[in-house]
Amino acid sequence: MTIVVCQFPCLEDNYGFLVHDDATGWTASIDAPDAQVILAQLAQRGWNLTAILNTHWHRDHTGGNALLRQATGALVIAPAEVGKTGPVDRIVSHGDTVVLGALSLQVIGTTGHTRGHVCYHEPEHGIVFVGDTLFALGCGRLFEGTAEEMWDSLTRLAALPGRTQVYCAHEYTLANAQFALSVDSTPQLRTRAIAVSAARRRGEPTVPTTIEAELLTNPFLRAADAAHFAALRRAKDQFSQPATGELFMPDDPARATPAGRQNI
């Protein structure tokens, strides 16, 4: 069985993902940030959309559901909370399995960013779609859940095999790297931050990442416990990004921290 993951930018800083099973022709869209972009990607590849798998209810993840459903007949498979944005054909929660052709995706409940947030893990090929729970060098804001709930959710993801490819829903890595450097000074993080900065200057994505890389350099996964995580999350919420968008090392005398865009 061959699985193809097609990743493409959507909206301001979202990523869209199409997961295609060559054996059966089944195709799923992980979230639906922009229906027109997703339809164009499908047409370019000659794929027919089978299902939309939403991770949570926020509009930059569900805004394309209605048009995609109307244009393709795809089923909307999602946590119950997505029902407040439109019809859901199948409600899923932690421990469920979504079968798409020859693909079998395990649903991992990840309360924190929203109450009903879920992730989709395909263990055979070692991939996980994490929505806004885990980011490269970061994690999602706590809009609805508690720090303890988010810590439990991140712990579930951290337990996946280290080689697992992590598909995050936003390109936030450079901003996350700047905060990470303010609370952690390990050589591994500094090396990664420099590589991330160079990749973004070249216009390259920093997604996917891996569980192994996040365990090594992501301050939120490196937290000692839930209380430590909560303190880090509060600090990130109050952190101001450099206005230039460039990476500044903490020991760089030129480092400045005027208010910048706050990421989720």
Predicted local distance difference test score (pLDDT) of residue 263:
46
Reported as a single tens digit per residue, the pLDDT across 198-248 is 999 999 999 999 999 999 999 999 999 999 999 999 999 999 876 555 676
| 99 lies in some domain | yes
Counting residues of the chain whose pLDDT is more than 90, the rounded percentage is: 87
| 40 lies in some domain | yes
CA angle 230, 232, 233 (to 5 degrees): 65
Reported as a single tens digit per residue, the pLDDT across 74-98 is 999 999 999 999 999 999 999 999 9
Predicted local distance difference test score (pLDDT) of residue 39:
98
| 251 lies in some domain | no
Residues 6+ apart with CB under 8 A from 261: 175, 241
Residue 259 has pLDDT above 50, yes or no: no
| 246 lies in some domain | no
| 150 lies in some domain | yes
One DSSP character per residue, 12-73 reads TTEEEEEEEETTT--EEEES-S-HHHHHHHHHHHT----EEE-SS--HHHHTTHHHHHHHH-
| 199 lies in some domain | yes
- What is the Cα–Cα distance from 33 to 89, expressed in whole angstroms? 18
- What is the Cα–Cα distance from 220 to 237, expressed in whole angstroms? 13
Reported as a single tens digit per residue, the pLDDT across 106-154 is 999 999 999 999 999 999 999 999 999 999 999 999 999 999 999 999 9
Burial letters 66-82, b for 16+ CB under 10 A, else e: eebbeebebbbbbbebb
Give the CATH number for residue 7.
3.60.15.10
How many separate domains does the chain show?
1
One DSSP character per residue, 146-179 reads -HHHHHHHHHHHHTS-TT-EEEESB--HHHHHHH
Token pair listed for 102: 């020859």
Predicted local distance difference test score (pLDDT) of residue 75:
97
Burial class (CB in 10 A: 0-12, 13-18, 19+), 137: buried
Give, as one character, the DSSP assignment of residue 182: H
Catalytic residues: 56, 58, 60-61, 113, 132, 170
Reported as a single tens digit per residue, the pLDDT across 162-212 is 999 999 999 999 999 999 999 998 999 999 999 999 999 999 999 999 999
| 244 lies in some domain | no
| 122 lies in some domain | yes
Note whether 219 and 184 are within 8 A (CB): yes
